[in-house]
Each structure stands twice: as structure tokens, then as C-alpha cells.
Amino acid sequence: MAQRPIRIGIIGAGAIVRNRHLPGFSTVEDCRAVVVCNRRRETAEAVAKKWEIPHVVDTPEEVLARDDINAVIVGTYPNLHRALALAAFKHGKHVLVQSRMAYDWADAKAMLAAAKKHPELVNQVCITGRSVPAEGFLTRLVRAGELGELRLVRANALLGDVLDPEAPLHWRFDRELSGSNIGHVGIWNEWLNRIMGPAKTVAATGKVFTARRKDPVTGKLRPVDIPESVCISGEMENGAHYVYTFSGVSAFPPPATLEVYGTRGTLYYDHERQDIRIGRVGKSQALEPVTIPEPEKTRWTVEQDFANAIRKGTPVTPSFADAMAYTMFVEAARRSLDQGKTIRLPLR
């Protein structure tokens, strides 16, 4: 177990690191960032100035080699997660990796294997904030069987983030950076998997509507090789049929929702408004609003959980082992898209 002070090196200072992790760690006793590295030094310097981080360096290697840190935040694009996590373990650092966990299934397996070789070091993947605060309540409701045997699960996340054909190539649609990840599929499946349980089969269809977009760095046109709209369906291990629809090309999209249909009732969840409605067969005339009991509200505790795991050995969620579930799902979706067939889980 590490010494009580937690000193952090940051590799990749994107929006989640700036808006979530740094504020979160600032509230943890005797925990602070010591060094930061970003793709551009000027952005790293801006982060360092705002959060009083004493050191700015130009390469991840300079972060990892430091003796005055014992933990690392990997906030880069997924294509670098494997190399940086493995290097951090070799340098004896605890690792918090930004979601999505890995570039692809092979990288995820390598990361988990390395973590198992270093049980003294904490491995954690940043949880998505999309389901907070409803996740715990929804999980209990579904897993307790209050809806009966599940028949159909529908999730819809329609956005307009790439509707404009003149918009530059976003990293989520750049396979060189994202790998097997497909838009928002991974961060949705992360919490859906915890609530609903895993899928047994995965069949995906998708479409790229703007074949080439400008690279945001070079300005040159590049192919778009990740679907801008995708539909994934299949069977869950609990026997339910599921249909997930994700789109980045929706004008005036409706709220993102989860619908669960069972033999004893129906659940409707608008995650943007945190609006939950439930109808029970024989007891309700329509879907009725439900308030999450205060003790059951799930709260963002990523940074405190990471610190507690380092200091007290308490478990974290998701660990690398936990995150394998949604990484496997997106890998299966990618294979289904590439091969034009249904993929059975689990992958080997």
C-alpha cells in the first residue's frame, strides 16, 4: 500500500481531467497533482497555472520517471491507454485511466494482465457520469425483479454533434485514436451493463454519412471510418431482447432515454432530466413519476474512491476487470459491423 500522501502525475489534460478530476482531487486530504503533460505545452501550462501544479513536462516518459509521484491519471485518447498504463505499472504508479478503457479488446486484455501482475497497485477506469445519480436505484429496481421477467430493453442516445458535414473530424470517429470504440456506445454500455446485465449476442449496423472530414490539426481531408449512426441489437443473458440506437447526426434530437419492458411493469428513464417513470401491471393506469430516495442516489466519487483504494485497499468500480465487460461489448459491435454477422459473447 502506498504512503499516505498522494502525489499525481497527469498525462493528458482533457475536459474530464480539468472539469472533474482536478476539482475532485482538490477536496481529498493530502492529495495533489505535481506534474502535468499534454499534447500542447501551452494547454498544459494553462492547466498548471489554474490548479497550481508546480511542474509542466513535454513527454509522458518524464511524468512516469518522477520519484515524487505515486499515481498517474491517463487522460489521453484510447490509442495510448495500453502503453501508458503498462509503463505506469512498471514505474510503480497507481493508475486511473479515462474511459474508454482501451483502444480495442487486445489492449484491454493486456492492461488487465499487467494489472494482475501488480496487485499492490490500484487500477481504475473513470466511470461515466451519464447514469449518476439514478444508477443504484435503477439497478436495484431491475435486479430485484420489480418489472418481472424482462422482455425488451431499448436505449436511445441521439445527438447532433456530427450533423454538420463541414465539422472537423472528431476523435470519437477517428479509428486511429478510438480503435474499436464507436461514438458513445462504450460509455452507455458501461452503465447499462451494470443495471441490466451482460449481452449474449451482438448484431450491429451502421452508416457513415460524411465520408471525409478535415483533420482538426492538419486541415487535410481524412476518411471517416467509424459510423456516425449505429443500431445494435441482440439477446441479453437475462433473456430480454435489446435494441440500442446511437446517432451523431440527429437534428433536434429527443432526450436520451432507457426503456425497460417486463412482464410486471415498464420503466422509462430520461437520463438528461433524471426523470424516472414506472407503470405496474394491474396497479397503474399509466407511467407514474418516481423520486429516487436520497440514500439511493449514486454520486460521483471517482477521485475519493481512487484515494481510498490507494490508502485503505478498498475496491474501486470500475476496475480494469470490471471495464472489460463494456470493452468486450464494443469490440463485438465493431466485429459485427466489419464482418456483417452476429457476434456471440463472451469473446475469447
pLDDT tens string 208-217: 999 999 999 9
| CATH number corresponding to 6-127+300-318 | 3.40.50.720
Instruction: Break the chain into its structural domains and give their ranges.
Output: 6-127+300-318, 135-298
Comparing 6-127+300-318 with 135-298, is the CATH topology the same? no
Contact 210, 228 (CB under 8 A): yes
Query: What is the mean pLDDT of the segment spanning 207-233?
Result: 96
Per residue in 54-79, pLDDT (tens digit) is 999 999 999 999 999 999 999 999 99
Which superfamily does 135-298 belong to? Dihydrodipicolinate Reductase; domain 2 (3.30.360.10)
- Using CB atoms within 10 A of its CB, is residue 46 exposed (0-12), middle (13-18) or buried (19+)? middle
Q: Residue 252 above 60 pLDDT? A: yes
What confidence category does residue 130 fall into, taking pLDDT thresholds of 50, 70 and 90?
confident
Query: What is the mean pLDDT of the segment spanning 300-318?
Result: 96
What confidence category does residue 83 fall into, taking pLDDT thresholds of 50, 70 and 90?
very high
pLDDT of residue 101: 96
Q: Residue 248 above 90 pLDDT? A: yes
What confidence category does residue 2 fall into, taking pLDDT thresholds of 50, 70 and 90?
very low
pLDDT of residue 1: 41
Contact 258, 192 (CB under 8 A): yes
Q: What are phi and psi of 270, to 5 degrees?
A: -100, 105
Contact 186, 323 (CB under 8 A): no
Query: What is the mean pLDDT of the segment spanning 111-125?
Result: 98
Q: Residue 3 above 60 pLDDT? A: no
pLDDT of residue 303: 97
Query: What is the mean pLDDT of the segment spanning 179-202?
Result: 94
Q: What is the mean pLDDT of the chain?
A: 95
Among 106, 339, 332, which residue's Cα sits nearest to residue 198? Answer: 332
**pTM greater than the 0.75 cutoff:** yes
118 vs 192: CA distance, rounded Å: 29
Q: How many CB atoms lie within 10 A of CB 140?
A: 12
pLDDT of residue 114: 98
Per residue in 259-283, pLDDT (tens digit) is 999 999 999 999 888 899 999 999 9
What's the grid cell of residue 297?
A: 442516489
